[in-house]
Structure 1
Amino acid sequence: MTKAIKLLTALPPPQRERLMSLAREVAFPEDARIFEAGGTADRFWVIRSGAVSLDQRVTSLQRVTVASLGAGDLLGWSWLFPPYQWDFGAEAFSPVRAYEFDAAAVRRLCEEEPALGLSLVRHVAEILAHRLEMTRGRLMEQYGQNRRSVL
Structure 2
Amino acid sequence: MAPLTVFDLLTLHDFAGDLPAGWLHRLAVAGRPVFYRAGTRLFREDAAAERLWLVHSGLVAIDFHVPGRGDIVIETIGPGEVLGWSWLRPPHRWHFGAVVADDLRAVELDAHVVRELMAEAPDFGLEISGRLLDVVAGRLQSARHRLVELYAYPGDPTRQEAEG
**Normalised TM-score (structure 2):** 0.81
- Structure 2 unmatched runs, 5+: 1-12, 157-164
1:23 alignment partner AA: G
Q: Distance in 2 between matches of 1:80 and 1:15?
A: 18
Which piece of structure 1 moves more, 60-69 or 39-48?
Answer: 60-69
Alignment match of 2:48 (pick from 40, 45, 55): 40
Q: Distance in 2 between matches of 1:106 and 1:127?
A: 17
2:82 alignment partner AA: L
1:17 aligns with 2:51: no
Structure-2 change in CA distance of 1:21 and 1:64 (3 Å)? same
Which residue is 1:123 aligned to?
Answer: 131
Structure number with larger C-alpha Rg: 2
SS in 1 for 2:152: helix
RMSD after superposition: 1.8
Alignment match of 2:80 (pick from 72, 77, 84): 72
- Structure 1 unmatched runs, 5+: none
Which residue is 1:112 aligned to?
Answer: 120
1:57 aligns with 2:65: yes
Structure-2 change in CA distance of 1:25 and 1:145 (3 Å)? same
Q: Distance in 2 between matches of 1:65 and 1:147?
A: 27
Aligned length: 144
Q: Distance in 2 between matches of 1:41 and 1:146?
A: 42
Structure of greater relative contact order (alpha carbons < 8 Å, 6+ residues apart): 1
Identity of aligned residues (%): 35
In the TM superposition, structure 1's runs of 4+ consecutive aligned residues that sit over 2 Å from their partners are 9-18, 145-148
SS in 2 for 1:105: helix
CA displacement, residues 44-85 of structure 1 (integer Å, 9 cap, x when unaligned)? 111111100000111255211111111121111100010000
Structure-2 change in CA distance of 1:57 and 1:145 (3 Å)? farther
